[in-house]
Structures are given as structure tokens and as C-alpha cells.
Chains A and B, each alone.
Chain A
Amino acid sequence: MTEATVEVATKPRRARREGRTAFFLLVPAVVVVLGVVGWPLVTTVLNSFRRVESALPKAPKPFVGLHNYAYILSDSDFWNAVRNTLYFTFFNTGLELILGVGLGVLMFQPMRGRWLLRVAVILPWALPTVVNAAMWRYYMNADYGPLNAFLVQTGLRQDYYSFLGSGTSAMNSVILVDVWKNTSLVAFFVLAGLQVIPKELYESAEIDGAGALRRFWSITLPLLRPVLAVVLVLRTIEAFKVFDVIYVMTRGGPASSTTSLALYAYKTAFSDQLFGIGSAISLVIVLFCLSLSLFYIRALGGSMGPEQS
């Protein structure tokens, strides 16, 4: 009884002291977040309701209400960018998840040279996106690309193929290049997830006569669900914002067939100097990402946090 009274008496004071320390420790981070994320976000929201046609701060910025939003909704290029972005996001994330799980499981297997495999898998991810994109643009060049030389010399193709020459082919090439780079991330998440699955489950399943496939479907996949959920959210949002790989490889061409929403926002703002409309497009991207996250959090329910696993 006395013990309990003491605890009740000291807890608020300690909590207050800790709270103050925590506050001071958090201040720098809060300032940085407000300055780097908050302020630009507020400015972007404000600009999306104004006509802003010059990058100079002193330029006039008349309020135009919802005009910028009305403009983009009636703009065929905007809808083209939406279609491209959805296509990119769906196939990019889907391929990365499937290949990433396979690669993660492979890396988990006890075998000789496993460290070498793990190093090889992390390498693409360690490359800067711009370097990766520039490298593949060169590999895929229709006139002097090594990939074409390889395909022709090994007899897989009769002649050089213009990977970035037509809309569908260019889009699929860009997706593959991004998958090549980012599958590693998924694979390592999966690898980390696999390491906390108790070995006993596999052992008893094996004793019960479950084959490798059955063990994968009934043990590995369900227990990987929390990890996969996190990766899915991360990669979907990343893919939805895709910019650099497209900017470097195709600049949105041919005929705007690879223009993503982020690239379209950039072009509108900086090439056409329509910052108000560019801001509106950016906010649409933010809204898309927000609703996607909310959807995932609801759909995947309890599997987000470690507490339910």
C-alpha cells in the first residue's frame, strides 16, 4: 500500500521532468521538419490557389480560387500522366514484391557463397538512381547499346531493338530498370522478416509431411505479412512519385508516353513557369499518396505494427 502511494506521488514529477527534457531534445528536429517540410508545404498549398507565373518572390501572385485545379482536371496531359503513373506504380510495385520475396527467400537459404549473393543483391540498390538510369539508357541505346549487342551476338534477336522507341516499350523498360534497382530493398526487408520466423514451425511442419511449397504458403508468407505490408506502402508511394529514372532515361517521351505526374508537375512549374498549376498537381500527388496510405492502413489492419505479429 505504501509502495503504491510513493509511486503515485513521484510519477507526475518525473514525468514532467522527462517531458521537458524530451521537449528540448525534440526542438531541433521540429524546427528542421517545419522549415524543410512544413513551410514548403504551406507555400505550395497557398500557391495552388494563386496565379504564379514567375519564380521571383516579388512577382504578383493574384488569388484565383480553384482555377488551377479546374485547369488540370480538364487537361488531357494531366490524365495521361495519371494513367502513366498508375501503370508504373502497379507493375513496378507488383514485380518488385514478387521478385523481392523470391530473392529474399533465396538469400535466406543456408548455402555456400551466401555472403556473395547478398553483396550482389545490395549493389543495384547502392547505386544512385540517376547513375542507374543513365547506365541503362546507355545499355539500351538503339544504336550503340551493349544490351543490344549482347542480344544480337547471342542470337536472341536478329537486329537492334529500340527499347525506348515506342510508348509501351519505353514505359516497360523504365519499369524494369526501376525494378532492377529497388527489388533489393524488398529482398532485404523480406530477409529481415524471415530471420524472426521461429525455425521450430518449419521443423514441425516438415515432420507433419509439408513440402517446401506448402511450408512457404502456410508459414513463410503469412508470417511475412507485416513486413510485406510495410514494404508495399513504402514502394507504392515511392513508385507513385517516380521522377528521376524517367527524367534521365526518356524525359517523359516518346510522345509523353512515360510522363509521370511528378515529371509533369516539374515541367509545368519549371519549364512552363506555371508555378500555381504545378503546385496544384503536386498537391494532387500528396493527396493520392495520403489516400493510398490510409487505404493500406485500413486494408492491412493489424498487420502494420509489430505488436500484433
Chain B
Amino acid sequence: MSDLFSSALSRRTFLSGALAVGAGATLAACSSSGSGGSASSSPSAATSSAAGAATGTINALFMKQAGYSEDHVRAMTTAFQAANPGATVNLEFVPYEALHDKIVAASAAGTYDLVLVDVIWPAEFATKGLVTDITDRIPSTWSNDVLAGALDSGLYQGKYYAVPWLLDTKYFFANKDMLTKAGVDPASLGTWDGVTAAAQSIKTKLGMKYPLIWSWPQSESVICDWAVLTASMGGKLFDDNGQPAFTAGGALQALEFMRKTIVDGITNPSSTQSAEDDVRKVISAGDAAMGLNWTYMYAAANDPKQSKVANQITISPVPSGGSGQISVNGSMAMAITSGAQNPDAAWAFAEYLSSEKLQEQYVTDSLPIWKASYDNPDVVKSAPDVVAAAKVQLGQMVNRPQVANYNAVSAKLQEAVQKALIGDLPVQQALDNANTEVQKLLTA
């Protein structure tokens, strides 16, 4: 009896163990519906989009890096709550890399009312019904008062799905002391050829191992940098009909350029594992002289508390590769989720965060979305270099394609670009392979 029992048990235990263990890998637990979030409903919220009248609980999801710092978002929220005593805001911050998937995973449960979305997501989220159409809420004056690059970050097929908030694009950062020591004329950094020449001088004259650092990991960051280089070399990743155009021309040339800087030993090979914040850290530690990054790096890299090279870092429009100093639109916006328990209060909060006055208080984190701010002497005075660079760059940005399955398409591109960068495949072959895969996705 005991023999039979234990041998049956051992076998059954292992079988059910295997089942349970396997089930741990299944996904349905996360994709099935859950009971509603913790947001409480507010009967008066329907009539209260005016400032000061928002009530109820707003659960909002924001990002930990780039743009407004966590401390500043908390300060803004405190101010909003002081002006709206009836409203409570619960903030949550996650790294950019986790933001998209968190929005998706939480969508069925309606955990958040307001979520921060990247410029490349409205197409997907709108198609799949995760965020709500807010076209009717957007004041008509915004089309005149808000910069197009920001307002359009929430636009998909003629409708608005998000409130513009972070107007951002990639800029070129350089360490001016290192340039001077290596005898490089800063004016020569207006072209990518000038940048590679400068990097070679810094490498030989200052003995710096890798003067260039980039954010080229297997994530969206590498696509941003590739898009910048592609546009500045006169190419396109996708043509005007949304068809792949990255196997030839500027896109091919851009990726060849990227690979060459690694082969030539002027780009730090760890770039293929570095996110934007690693670029900031390496440049701030004085271990690299030049790099691309979002606006926030200017304040951070020049802050003596966070940087060994404070007050040495300059910001300028991205270099030209022959077709102009064109950068990539990296704006982000706030969307009201379709499961929001308190959409009116969420709108009031979003409207408050993106208001002209508030944005002008935090210019060093992120530039305002409002055209008028750029002529406001206080704004210009508080960040003169950033505003000067922005005036050039914000008018010259490319958008990444607005397709519903952008993430899947981008994932194929990221893999191909990385294969080329680490030398697993020749550039042309990597891109040709990606083309086949992307075509398959676009026709699926």
C-alpha cells in the first residue's frame, strides 16, 4: 500500500508539477479581465473640466527617465491637487522600456486613467481600443498655439488620442573642453564627417579610447538614432506609402556609417547595450566626448551633482549627413485609457500638466509645447542654449511610420540593425533580411 501510494504520488506529483510549472509561462492570467482598478467614481466629474473643479481619484502612469524628472512631476501634481482639493492623484513611474507593456497589461483591468504614450504608439493603442478619442476635448485654438510636432504626437488618422506634453527630439552633445584640447573647431561638428574627424583627433591627441557613445541597444532607441542618421543622409526608413525603404539610399548609408565608427574604434562598442541614460552617464563621467541624446541630458550633464564634466557639455542641432540637420520626433503625450474610471478628472490633470504657465516653470527638463513660450524672455533666459538649438531642430524633425503594428515592425528592424552593428551580418544582408520579415508583417 505505502509502496503503491508513494510511487503513484511521485509520478503524479511530477506530472502536475510540470503542468503547474508550464502554466506559469502561460499568459492568460494577465490578459484576462480583472476586477476594476482602485479608482473611485465621481458623480460630479462629468461637469468639471474647468480648473479647480476636478474631483475623484486619478491613477496615472509616467516614465522614470528623460523629460520631466520624477521629483518635478510630483511637484506639479501637488500643485494640481492644491488647486483641485477634490482630486487625488496616484502617480506611478516605470522605465521607458517597461512603459508600453505595462499599459497593455493593465488595460483589461482599467488600472490607470491617464498614461504617458510615446509618439509611435497612438496608432496601435487607438486601433486596439486601449485609449479614447479626445478630439472633442482638444480646444480649437491649440492647432495655432501648440507646435505641430507636439500636437501631432497624439494624432492618428485625423483624430486625437493624446494630450501633447513632452516635446522632444534628439540633439548633439559635445564636451567643449575636450574639443579645445584636441584642437577641434566646434564649427566642424555641423556634419557627420566633421564629427568622425573630431573623434579621431580626440582619440589620438587625448588618448581617449572611444570618443563616441550612442544608445544602440536592441530597443526603440537604436531606431531613433538610425532614423536621425538616415534623414540627415537624405534617406527614409519607410516611403510615403508606408512601404519599407531602408534597404537602399540614406538608410543603408546611415547603418554603414554606424558600423564603420565601431570598426574604426571611435564608437564605444558598449553602445549596443547602452540606453539613453547610459549615454548620459558615460559622457557625464568624462569617458566620452560626443553623443546624441534627448533634451534632458543638457541639464543633467551640466549639473555638478550628477556630472564630473559640469558646464563643459554643449547642445546643438544634430550634424548633417549631406541632406540637412534633421532629427527624429521623440515627443510623448498623455492618453486617457478606455478603461478609465475617471476620464474627466484625468483630462483636467493632463490639461493642467501641459498648460503653458506650468511648462514654462520647468524649461530645463523639457521645452514647452507652446509656440508663444519661445518668445517669452524668461524662458529664453532660463535655458538660452537649449532654446537656440531647439529653434533650429524642432522645425526639422522626421516622424517614424504610423502603423498599427509598429512595435512588431520595429522589433525586426532592431534585430537587423544590431546584427549589422556587432558584425554578425554584412549591413546590406541584414537589411535585406529585415525587409522580408517586415513585408510579411505588413501584409499579415
Chain A residues whose CB sits within 8 angstroms of the CB of B421 once the complex forms: 254-255
Chain B residues whose CB sits within 8 angstroms of the CB of A44 once the complex forms: 23, 26-28
- A253 close to B218 (CB less than 8 A): yes
Q: List 24 A-B contacts (CB under 8 A).
A: A40-B28, A44-B23, A55-B31, A57-B32, A58-B129, A143-B282, A165-B270, A166-B422, A237-B22, A250-B218, A253-B272, A254-B217, A255-B419, A270-B101, A271-B100, A271-B411, A275-B27, A278-B27, A285-B25, A293-B15, A296-B14, A297-B11, A304-B11, A305-B7
Chain A residues whose CB sits within 8 angstroms of the CB of B415 once the complex forms: 77, 255-256
- B22 close to A289 (CB less than 8 A): yes
- A272 close to B97 (CB less than 8 A): no
Chain B residues whose CB sits within 8 angstroms of the CB of A86 once the complex forms: none
- A167 close to B424 (CB less than 8 A): yes
- A289 close to B18 (CB less than 8 A): yes
Chain A residues whose CB sits within 8 angstroms of the CB of B187 once the complex forms: none
C-alpha spacing A305/B6, complex, angstroms = 7
Q: Specify which of B23, B209, B285, B339 is in contact with A40 (CB 8 Å cutoff).
A: B23
B124, CB-defined interface residue at 8 Å: yes
A56-B129, A142-B273, A271-B100 known; A254+B108 contact, CB < 8 A: no
A-B pairs under 8 A by CB, number: 202
- A254 close to B2 (CB less than 8 A): no
Taking CB as reference atom, which chain B residue is nearest A279?
Answer: B27
A251, CB-defined interface residue at 8 Å: yes
List the 9 closest pairs (A to B, CB-CB), nearest first. A253-B218, A286-B22, A43-B28, A142-B270, A305-B10, A255-B418, A54-B128, A293-B18, A40-B28
A interface footprint on B286-327 (CB within 8 Å = 1, 0 otherwise): 010000000000000000000000000000000000000000
B203, CB-defined interface residue at 8 Å: no
- A269 close to B3 (CB less than 8 A): no
Question: B1-53: which have CB < 8 Å to A?
Answer: 2-3, 6-7, 9-11, 14-15, 17-33
Chain A residues whose CB sits within 8 angstroms of the CB of B23 once the complex forms: 37, 40-41, 44, 286
Question: A58-78: which have CB < 8 Å to B?
Answer: 58-59, 76-77
B215, CB-defined interface residue at 8 Å: no
Q: Specify which of B25, B97, B269 is in contact with A282 (CB 8 Å cutoff).
A: B25
Chain A residues whose CB sits within 8 angstroms of the CB of B11 once the complex forms: 297, 304
Chain A residues whose CB sits within 8 angstroms of the CB of B128 once the complex forms: 53-56, 59, 273
Q: Specify which of A37, A162, A293 is in contact with B270 (CB 8 Å cutoff).
A: A162
A44-B28, A255-B218, A262-B25 known; A55+B105 contact, CB < 8 A: yes
Minimum Cβ distance to chain B for residue A182 (Å): 15
A143-B268, A272-B405 known; A252+B18 contact, CB < 8 A: no
B200, CB-defined interface residue at 8 Å: no
A39, CB-defined interface residue at 8 Å: yes
Taking CB as reference atom, which chain A residue is nearest B28?
Answer: A43
Minimum Cβ distance to chain A for residue B261 (Å): 15
B402, CB-defined interface residue at 8 Å: no
Chain B residues whose CB sits within 8 angstroms of the CB of A207 once the complex forms: none
Q: Specify which of A57, A165, A253, A290 is in contact with B33 (CB 8 Å cutoff).
A: A57
A181, CB-defined interface residue at 8 Å: no
C-alpha spacing A39/B31, complex, angstroms = 12
Chain A residues whose CB sits within 8 angstroms of the CB of B29 once the complex forms: 36, 40
- A285 close to B22 (CB less than 8 A): yes
Q: Specify which of B14, B32, B273, B407 is in contact with A43 (CB 8 Å cutoff).
A: B32
Interface size on A, residues (CB 8 A): 72
Taking CB as reference atom, which chain A residue is nearest B406?
Answer: A272
Chain A residues whose CB sits within 8 angstroms of the CB of B28 once the complex forms: 39-44, 47, 279
A44-B27, A272-B405, A293-B18 known; A57+B108 contact, CB < 8 A: yes
Chain A residues whose CB sits within 8 angstroms of the CB of B32 once the complex forms: 39-40, 43, 57
Q: Specify which of B17, B101, B273 is in contact with A250 (CB 8 Å cutoff).
A: B273
A142-B273, A274-B408, A304-B14 known; A56+B338 contact, CB < 8 A: yes
- A286 close to B19 (CB less than 8 A): yes
B373, CB-defined interface residue at 8 Å: no
A283, CB-defined interface residue at 8 Å: yes
C-alpha spacing A227/B127, complex, angstroms = 53
C-alpha spacing A256/B413, complex, angstroms = 11
- B273 close to A162 (CB less than 8 A): yes
A267, CB-defined interface residue at 8 Å: yes
A174, CB-defined interface residue at 8 Å: no
Taking CB as reference atom, which chain B residue is nearest A47?
Answer: B28
A interface footprint on B86-127 (CB within 8 Å = 1, 0 otherwise): 000000000001001100110110000000000000001000
A141, CB-defined interface residue at 8 Å: yes
Q: At the interface, is chain A mostly helix, strand, loop or mixed?
A: helix
C-alpha spacing A306/B9, complex, angstroms = 11
C-alpha spacing A266/B349, complex, angstroms = 32
A233, CB-defined interface residue at 8 Å: yes
Interface size on B, residues (CB 8 A): 65
B277, CB-defined interface residue at 8 Å: no
- B129 close to A267 (CB less than 8 A): no
- B18 close to A59 (CB less than 8 A): no
C-alpha spacing A233/B24, complex, angstroms = 16
C-alpha spacing A77/B107, complex, angstroms = 27
- B270 close to A143 (CB less than 8 A): yes
Minimum Cβ distance to chain A for residue B103 (Å): 9
- B407 close to A275 (CB less than 8 A): no
Minimum Cβ distance to chain A for residue B25 (Å): 5
Minimum Cβ distance to chain A for residue B225 (Å): 15
Chain B residues whose CB sits within 8 angstroms of the CB of A144 once the complex forms: 281-282, 285, 287
B219, CB-defined interface residue at 8 Å: yes
Taking CB as reference atom, which chain A residue is nearest B268?
Answer: A143
- B14 close to A272 (CB less than 8 A): no
Chain B residues whose CB sits within 8 angstroms of the CB of A269 once the complex forms: 27, 31
Taking CB as reference atom, which chain A residue is nearest B209?
Answer: A159
A179, CB-defined interface residue at 8 Å: no
A37-B19, A241-B25, A254-B218 known; A293+B14 contact, CB < 8 A: yes
B167, CB-defined interface residue at 8 Å: no
A44-B26, A250-B273, A306-B6 known; A56+B108 contact, CB < 8 A: yes
- B6 close to A251 (CB less than 8 A): no
Q: Specify which of B3, B105, B130, B218 is in contact with A251 (CB 8 Å cutoff).
A: B218
C-alpha spacing A159/B2, complex, angstroms = 63
Chain B residues whose CB sits within 8 angstroms of the CB of A18 once the complex forms: none
Chain B residues whose CB sits within 8 angstroms of the CB of A42 once the complex forms: 28
C-alpha spacing A238/B103, complex, angstroms = 28
Q: Specify which of A47, A255, A283 is in contact with B424 (CB 8 Å cutoff).
A: A255
C-alpha spacing A39/B2, complex, angstroms = 33
- B108 close to A40 (CB less than 8 A): no
Minimum Cβ distance to chain B for residue A245 (Å): 15
Chain A residues whose CB sits within 8 angstroms of the CB of B100 once the complex forms: 271
B133, CB-defined interface residue at 8 Å: no
A133, CB-defined interface residue at 8 Å: no
Taking CB as reference atom, which chain A residue is nearest B339?
Answer: A56
